[in-house]
Amino acid sequence: MSGLVIYPGSFDPITYGHLDVAARAAALFDELVVAVSHNVGKTSLFSVEERIELAAQALADIPNARVSHFQGLLVDFCRRCGARAVVRGLRAVSDFEYEFQMALTNRHLAGEKVDTVFLMPNEDHIYLSSSLVKEIARFGGAISSFVPPNVERALRARLKEEP
């Protein structure tokens, strides 16, 4: 497939599951934009700027990938970037219902100008989520197989600051 694809998410923090989906998307499209969202409905552990930096470091080996951020409607961000596709990772059947609803809503809002491509991460990462990684790290568990070294260092440092 040619063109630009957007991979949106909170990436709080980015995990090996996210990176696996990003690498798969980058292999399918000419350009990948990992779009870190500013979600006012969520309390993030890392600021948008920190999440952008962590993601950029983690994606450094993917030459056709870059990191950006957005707030507001994803379809508006796609329009500004000239993207006609969005990639979403599916870990389980339970993800599909929500993602399917969002894909149809985005298509409706964009006037059928934005398609969604669903990719499954490698089975080694299928169960992985940022929330799970943060919880394991909070209790001192091993997370090196879940996140890149830069993310592990940032998580450990941030959690030391928590009361």
pLDDT tens-place string over residues 45-55: 999 999 999 99
CA neighbor of 70 nearest in space, from 104, 22, 33: 33
CB 155 within 8 A of CB 137: yes
Question: What pLDDT, on a 0 to 100 scale, did the predictor assign at position 122?
Answer: 87
Contact by Cβ (8 Å): 137, 159: yes
Q: Is 121 exposed, middle or buried (0-12, 13-18, 19+ CB in 10 A)?
A: buried
> Which pLDDT does position 17 carry in this prediction?
95
pLDDT of residue 163: 54
Q: Is 42 known to be catalytic? A: yes
pLDDT given for residue 51 in this prediction: 98
**Residue 124: its pLDDT value, please?**
86
- What sections of the chain are H helices per DSSP? 16-28, 48-58, 74-81, 93-109, 130-138, 149-161
What residues of the chain score a pLDDT lower than 50?
none
What predicted TM-score, i.e. pTM, was given to this entire model?
A: 0.92
**All domains in the chain, ordered by first residue:** 4-161 (3.40.50.620)
18 is a catalytic site residue: yes
- For the question of residue 69 being annotated catalytic, the response is no
| Measured distance CA(68)–CA(102) in Å, rounded | 21
| Model pLDDT, residue 162 | 63
Per-residue pLDDT at 60: 97
Q: Which of 2, 42, 94, 160 is catalytic?
A: 42
| Contact call for residues 33 and 5 (beta carbons, < 8 A) | yes
